[in-house]
Amino acid sequence: MSSDQTFAVTEIRVSGPDAGPYGITAGPDGALWFTLVHQGRIGRITPGGELTSHPLDPASGGPTTITAGPDGALWFTEYRGHRIGRLTTGGEATAFPLPTPEAGPFGIAAGPDGALWFTETGADRIGRVTVDGEITEFPLPERGTFPSAIAAGPDDALWFTMNQANAIGRIGVDGDVTVHRLPSEGAAPVGITAGADGAMWFVEIGAGQIGRITPDGRIEEFPLPDRAARPHAIVAGPDGNCWFTEWGANRVGRITPGGRIDGYDLPTPSSEPHGIAAGPDGALWVALEIGALARLAPESAG
């Protein structure tokens, strides 16, 4: 698909304004699954618009980011409850408390080893949980780093952002950690994803830039046209580009492998776009904290 392909934006109401849609992922059942961080629920929507949601117990855990697991279930972090949650497509929920108190789990991703890997923002650790719920934690070499988002890379390792250390981390399935410093001060990286070009792409919420790092650690940074846009989450899209949310600019941006940037304004002002996912329908889906999802669908030529 050409990078010149245009996308139409629509908005779908999925909750009240206080529920807080935050993370979103494509599920194994052809639907999109999303977290309602303030309501303590996991929502599900089909590309056709059929909407359901599942309550968590307790509702105060703060479900944050969510991903499809290797076992056909959805896995998510409970930032306030300090747990990792699992939800089957049939709605059966299980939770696994973390060994470290006040760990603050945030990012989660399926690893190449058949386990789920997650970040512990409050404990400076990377965690690993098997599909049976066995948890291992790996301490980072520094304190106060606030590890945030995490994604599987093309090199059989996990890559994660170190928001307060101004760095990108890499952890092998053996627990070995490498830290790559970013050139820009105050970059505060958050979201990260594997791009179609064999590199990892990430957002710098503090510097208003998109970053790219190769498996051997070479880093490039691409300034956004609006440096105050507060880019937050990023995902590889169906068009070979990476797509990202601009929380401070009410926009969804797109960057080509060559670094060309454009974007789409969202219909409702101050909709607070956070998580973004590529859907099974060829569209991009965005969680809006105002209680909606945005869908960016490719427009046919002519």
Model-level pTM?
0.96
Contacts of 204 (CB under 8 A, 6+ apart): 182, 184, 187, 188, 189, 210, 211, 221, 231
For residues 14, 15, 19 and 23, what is the CA-based torsion angle, rounded to 10 degrees?
0
Sign of CA dihedral 110, 104, 294, 246: negative
Q: How would you classify the pairing of strands 157-162 and 116-120?
A: unpaired
Reported as a single tens digit per residue, the pLDDT across 234-244 is 999 999 999 99
**Which residue ranges are tagged as binding site?**
232, 272, 289
SS3 for the chain is: CCCCCCEEEEEEECCCCCCCEEEEEECCCCCEEEEECCCCEEEEECCCCCEEEEECCCCCCCEEEEEECCCCCEEEEECCCCEEEEECCCCCEEEEECCCCCCCEEEEEECCCCCEEEEECCCCEEEEECCCCCEEEEECCCCCCCEEEEEECCCCEEEEEECCCCEEEEEECCCCEEEEECCCCCCCEEEEEECCCCCEEEEECCCCEEEEECCCCCEEEEECCCCCCCEEEEEECCCCCEEEEECCCCEEEEECCCCCEEEEECCCCCCCEEEEEECCCCCEEEEECCCEEEEEEECCCC
User: Looking at the annotation, which residues are catalytic?
Assistant: 274
Report all structural domains of the chain as residue ranges with CATH numbers, in order of start.
27-232 (2.130.10.10)
Which segments are annotated as binding site for substrate? 232
Residues of the chain with pLDDT under 70: 1-4, 300-302
pLDDT of residue 301: 45
Q: What is the pLDDT of residue 3?
A: 55
Q: Output the known binding site for Mg(2+).
A: 272, 289
